[in-house]
Amino acid sequence: MAVDVNTPAVYYSPEDYGEGGEVGSVENNIISVEMPAHLNRNLLNRVPFYEPQLMNDGTYRDVLGNIWIREDEKIAKRYHGGLPTYRGTGDFLGCQAVYHEHKILNYGPWQGTFDFWAPYNDDGSVSILRGVMHMPFDVLPHIDIWLFKQGSRGYENTPDSNIYGKDATVKNK
């Protein structure tokens, strides 16, 4: 199903946004996020298999050279069990990846989830507007299901086809 701006929900499929989803393309059409879309948000998530590496220029980059923002440790501890957590920039805006032993964690309550409103701009800079929009579209639905509905988040995993770089050789700096 496609995004329908005439109803108070967002429903989507990967076919609506191209292969792997065109990250960030949905946010201008969203009115609210109801449970089906919330739980299936990872259909739009695209993440590197291996943890992004810290480069000499101070950026974190995946095996293809894409820049990822490392989450603050307090936030990572609160929402992702203290595991290394990254947010995508540019074409990967809205994507979130969590790593265990330098490989993607793609199941369970600590996995990363796609954000309909990432709290960062395309270039990775903090955005007050995006941060405000992030709360009702991403954080509050998470809290609602985690605390009141299921006891565990119950998100769908990021599809294997959206995890890239499995065959890459990881180079440090």
> Among residues 33, 52, 34, 26, which one has the least CA distance to residue 112?
52
Determine the Cα–Cα distance for residues 73 and 76; give it in Å rounded to an integer. 5
Instruction: Please compute the mean of the pLDDT values over residues 113-134 and round it to a whole number.
Output: 85
DSSP string, 25-37: TTGGG-S---HHH
Return the pLDDT at 53: 96
Among 5-19, 64-78, 125-139, the range of highest mean pLDDT: 64-78
More confident residue, 168 or 132: 132
* pLDDT surpassing 90 at residue 95: yes
By the 8 A CB rule, do 88 and 68 touch?
A: yes
Instruction: Please compute the mean of the pLDDT values over residues 14-38 and round it to a whole number.
Output: 47
User: Tokens 């009115």, residue?
Assistant: 31
Q: Give the tens place of pLDDT for each residue, 32-87.
A: 556 666 778 888 899 999 999 999 999 999 999 999 999 989 988 888 889 999 99
Q: Give the tens place of pLDDT for each residue, 37-48.
A: 677 888 889 999
Q: Give the tens place of pLDDT for each residue, 151-172.
A: 445 677 888 888 998 886 555 4
Reduced to 3 states (helix: H, G, I; strand: E, B; else coil), residue 67 is strand
Q: Give the tens place of pLDDT for each residue, 100-120.
A: 999 999 888 788 889 888 888
Instruction: Please compute the mean of the pLDDT values over residues 20-36 and round it to a whole number.
Output: 48
Return the pLDDT at 122: 79
* pLDDT surpassing 90 at residue 121: no
* pTM score over 0.85: no
